Structure 1
């Protein structure tokens, strides 16, 4: 990962999709109303955090909003994303919006991202990539396991990280976007999560365990009455040229059961040339 000293351009490689921008760098599921409880999980039970990924698979799909905030050398950069995710197929799509340039004008088009098991596809990423081509990255070869590379954390991987949660405390009950949720706080360990995660996520998380400055990741998680993860915020630390980049990744999930279609690009639409950094 390469940090460029440029206002409004924090970390250049924490989004390979967003490298050109100078920023760090997965069918429809079960339908159900936003407030309906799917089981008898009690509110305020910290054990519910450990099974968040399994409950999302039961929920089927949802819409999602993401936010990635990076701070290094006095510079703060925020990348936002919005889309949908199919938790059963482990596939999703996001439109990622980069920060404006120093003059306040839009500098980059939104980056289209497709999330698939162990693979990230990006379009409109610039850096010499033709507009009609996709960049394909193997998450298991990325130093961060694609926890932050695309400018967002894969929603299901964010839940998989919680399988290794420890020291979980119940903070209290509150309302989030009109939904009653339980707020939990604790820490997780990336290396332990890699060993306990579903098979599709293990290699990528193992790569992240090797690449992050600290395996221990503080988190805040918000679960609804059905045990579904509504919001999760992880605080990562990433080494970069002798500095530690603080990365706060937030994932918001809503409208469970909404149809989410993801069609991966054919081989002739994959860019095979050299990517400028």
Structure 2
């Protein structure tokens, strides 16, 4: 899958995944509100189905299973590669799938930030249709938040934050079509079933929950191909334990390949997220350099 119009050349590749908003000239002040497959019954994933259709059905039900679980802790990574340069951005946090609110601490690798001490961790708050970022850099005061309307982003926040919004990662699976069951394995001591396939962005957007529909629809319009390859691991209750999405986006130079991975654990954890006040939101423009944003 190729995303149109994102600029990510030279040194800017290091921070591109955290700078799509700046690269498409989004103002920081913009506002925004068992083997063989499984089948679903009564909203829960159950063992006993067979074939590709049953596999696709259980994968598509992953987002609903997360909403029933309520919340989870998460670890994420986003690897970008272009022109022989490979960068991995990591995040860790917590997310409430019912309210679609979360907090993630994002860390950039030191060797790509242009500073011997690296860039301070970026705090991201996720809400329906909105992404808030603190320690964004690029001329943003340290005590201010950048607010981004994810419903106008060409990637629907699958890339922008440097980590994929956990709900967006799950909602994308609603578009699962070509799915095959790979087999059973284990993740962190938990028995899981591994499925591999592709998701269609347009189908995912149409099936998304109301709170996610805007961002997913934006991604469906902004990506030049609707097909997103994935590997997903679900436990025996249908809960998503790991998902990896693979795609690429266009750049001024070599295409940038992206591998976005999300792990979920600690289901039922307490989530406390307080969104910034209007007075704490930066209303200026995010600075950009010739090769893209100066810093995330």
Identify whether the pair has TM-score above 0.5, normalized to the shorter chain: yes
Residues of 2 paired with 1:247 and 1:17: CA distance? 13
Give the alignment's TM-score, normalised by structure 2: 0.82
Residues of 2 paired with 1:113 and 1:223: CA distance? 26
Residues of 2 paired with 1:220 and 1:273: CA distance? 39
Aligned-residue RMSD, C-alpha: 2.2
Give the match's secondary structure for 1:205: helix
Spell out, residue by residue over 1:32-66, the C-alpha distance to the aligned partner (whole angstroms, 9 max, x if none).
xxxxxx95611785121110000000000000000
Residues of 2 paired with 1:60 and 1:144: CA distance? 25
Alignment partner of 1:16 is 2:19: yes
Alignment partner of 1:94 is 2:104: yes
Alignment partner of 1:118 is 2:123: no
Match of residue 5, structure 1, among 10, 32, 42: 10
Alignment partner of 1:244 is 2:255: yes
Quote the offset at 1:139 in angstroms.
0.2
Alignment partner of 1:193 is 2:204: yes
Runs of 4+ in 1 over 6 A off after TM superposition: 17-20
Q: Work out whether residues 7 and 250 of structure 2, in 8 Å CA contact, stay in contact via their aligned partners in 1.
A: no
Residues of 1 paired with 2:152 and 2:16: CA distance? 14
Number of positions where the alignment pairs a residue of Structure 1 with one of Structure 2: 258
Q: Work out whether residues 214 and 238 of structure 1, in 8 Å CA contact, stay in contact via their aligned partners in 2.
A: no
Matches within 5 A, 1:251-262: 251-262=262-273
Quote the offset at 1:263 in angstroms.
0.5
Q: Which residue of 1 aligns with 2:35?
A: none
Q: Work out whether residues 72 and 244 of structure 1, in 8 Å CA contact, stay in contact via their aligned partners in 2.
A: yes
Q: Which residue of 2 aligns with 1:142?
A: 153
Give the unaligned 5+ runs of structure 1. 21-37
Residues of 1 paired with 2:185 and 2:104: CA distance? 28
Residues of 1 paired with 2:105 and 2:144: CA distance? 16
Quote the offset at 1:166 in angstroms.
1.1
Residues of 2 paired with 1:175 and 1:43: CA distance? 20
Give the match's secondary structure for 1:204: helix
Quote the offset at 1:211 in angstroms.
2.2
Give the unaligned 5+ runs of structure 2. 1-5, 24-42, 289-296
Match of residue 73, structure 1, among 76, 80, 83: 83
Q: Work out whether residues 44 and 65 of structure 2, in 8 Å CA contact, stay in contact via their aligned partners in 1.
A: no
Give the alignment's TM-score, normalised by structure 1: 0.87
Q: Work out whether residues 17 and 149 of structure 1, in 8 Å CA contact, stay in contact via their aligned partners in 2.
A: yes
Alignment partner of 1:58 is 2:58: no
Give the match's secondary structure for 2:117: coil
Q: Work out whether residues 196 and 230 of structure 2, in 8 Å CA contact, stay in contact via their aligned partners in 1.
A: yes
| Bigger RCO (CA 8 Å, 6+ sep) | 2
Cα distance change on mapping 1:161 and 1:48 into 2, 3 Å: same
